[in-house]
Structure 1
Amino acid sequence: MRRHEFQPGRLLAGLVLTAAGVLYLLDAAGETDVPWFLVVPFGVGGLVLSALVGMVTYAVRRDQRDRIIESKDQ
């Protein structure tokens, strides 16, 4: 299997959505009472946070690529 870049934004999105799913499963099993108006903002906030992390990761990697290209040109 080919190696791929680590993408922390996607990891964070997966963890947040998994946590929201677990909360819904616990609610369905009767273990806890989680209102929908708490889980929805949790999921949306997690997706927004993962988008920000993804943009920062992209910017850092782009800056590193540009520095490598500049050093090769000199």
Structure 2
Amino acid sequence: MSRHEFQPGRLIAGLVLLTAGVLYLVDAADDGDLPWWTLAPLVVAGLGLAALVGVVTMLVRSNHRTRPAARERQGAGDTENPPPGE
């Protein structure tokens, strides 16, 4: 089995939806009185948090991947154009 990147946004989204599903099942099994509008903010806020974490993860990874290439270009530029005194 090949390894894949850890995606924390998907983890958070899954946990939020799993929590909402468990709450709904507990409410249905116990004949509880959990109104639907209590789960809606939980799901919306959780998916919003998951989206935010996903975007931050994407930005961090893209910045981390482009940084070494920029260093190589700067290093190569220094050897091609030595200072005027040399």
Q: TM-score, normalised by structure 2?
A: 0.80
**Unaligned 5+ runs, structure 2:** 76-86
State the 4+ residue runs in structure 1 displaced beyond 3 angstroms.
none
Q: Which residue of 2 aligns with 1:30?
A: 30
Q: TM-score, normalised by structure 1?
A: 0.92
Identity %: 57
> 1:72–1:29: structure 2 CA closer, same or farther, 3 Å change rule?
same
**Unaligned 5+ runs, structure 1:** none
Report the Cα offset of residue 61 of structure 1.
0.3
| Aligned length, in residue pairs | 74
- Root mean square deviation, CA, Å: 1.2
Larger Rg: 2
Query: Does the alignment pair 1:70 with 2:70?
Result: yes
The aligned runs of 1:1-74 (5 Å cut-off) are 1-30=1-30, 32-73=32-73, 74=75
